[in-house]
Structure 1
Amino acid sequence: MKVQEIRELIKLVDQSGIEEFVFESAGSKLKMKKSTGTTTYAAAPEAPASAVQLTPAVQPTASIIQEAPAPEAPKAAAEDSNLHKITSPMVGTYYQSPSPDAEAYVKPGSKIKSDSVVCIVEAMKLFNEIEAEVDGEIVEILVKDGQLVEYGQPLFLVKPE
């Protein structure tokens, strides 16, 4: 595994909600574990209960504690119950078009079929076309082009036909 690939994995894990990641390939194993960012406290064992002094046992690292922005909530909760969510099948980077100068696969109002490609999610230099899996109309796009997405994160709201 190349150093650049390891750096990219570290970046993806750091920006995601994944707490622990294990990768095995060709006899080598890579294990990454994030700090939860919580501070735990431990008391000195020989001190009496009235004189217990709490000391931080873990100092969180600022670069690891970065919280991902909360996904934007759909505009109307009542409408949301009738809409189908197309979700990301993997952690990666969302792209709305096959190349930077190409038209987006879909826009709000686009009619789609179950086999229509709606976006690309790139993970470890592999570009995965995501299909709608439902016939309908795109109501809302929930992520921005180039945004890191999580496994199961809603990408689109679709009004099914």
Structure 2
Amino acid sequence: MKIQEIREIIKLVDQSSLDEFLYESEGTKIKLKKNAKGTVSSTSETFDSSSIVEQPKQVEVKAPIVQEIPKEPVVVETAEDVVDSSLHTIISPMVGTFYQSSSPDAAAYVEVGTKVSSDSIVCIVEAMKLFNEIEAEIDGEVVEILVKDGQLVEYGQPLFLVKGN
């Protein structure tokens, strides 16, 4: 077992709620135990089956608890967050990548000010290599495009605001 793998195991155990961890594979035995002071102790023993007389190797590793800095949370606006109730929100029916056109060199399906009918295609959301055409579902005029071309979108995330006729 490589030292980097041992370090990764120590880090994972340190970040977990486990108090004790034991790993055995191909004659290698690693035992990790957290003590009350918040450090991880490690004992590694390697046995060679061809020579029983050999003394096991022991390694003591003390590692401080490493606290990861939390990443900034991703805020996903939902249909309930849109304030203007006179506008219809077209939401993403799935998680995927938002595209305004059928190909990079093609014109966008809609822009701000475009008149749409309920069966007008307004964009494509790609999910798992499938390109799903999203329809307006309302007759009206596109007032605002809420996402950028190529942006990842979540299920239920608002894509467009449409002023109904």
Question: Which TM-score band (shorter chain)?
Answer: 0.5 to 0.7
Post-superposition CA distance 1:13-37 (Å, at most 9, x none)? xxxxxxxxxxxxxxxxxxxxxxxxx
> What residue is the counterpart of 1:89 in the other structure?
93
Corresponding position of 2:160: 156
Alignment of 1:67 with 2:73, yes or no, is yes
Higher relative contact order (CA 8 A, sep 6+): 1
What does residue 100 of structure 1 align with? 104
How far 1:71 moved relative to its partner? Answer: 4.4
Deviation at 1:140, TM superposition (A): 0.1
- How many Å apart are 1:81 and its aligned residue? 1.4
- 1:138, 1:157 within 8 Å by CA — same for their partners in 2? yes
Question: Which structure 1 residue ranges, 5 or more long, are not aligned?
Answer: 1-38, 43-52
Report the aligned-residue RMSD.
3.4
Q: Work out which of the two has the higher radius of gyration on C-alpha atoms and give 1 or 2.
A: 2
Q: CA deviation at 1:112?
A: 0.1
**Is residue 144 from structure 1 mapped to residue 148 from structure 2 by the alignment?**
yes
Equivalent residues, number = 107
Query: Any gaps of 5 or more consecutive residues in structure 2?
Result: 1-14, 19-35, 40-64
Structure 1's consecutive aligned runs of 4 or more residues displaced over 4 angstroms after TM superposition are 39-42, 53-56, 58-62, 69-72
CA drift at 1:97? 0.2
SS at the partner of 1:122?
A: strand
In the alignment, which residue of structure 2 is the partner of 1:46? Answer: none
C-alpha change, 1:61 and 1:88, in structure 2 (3 Å) is: farther
Q: Give identity over the alignment, percent.
A: 62
Structure 1 residues 106-125: aligned runs within 5 Å = 106-125=110-129
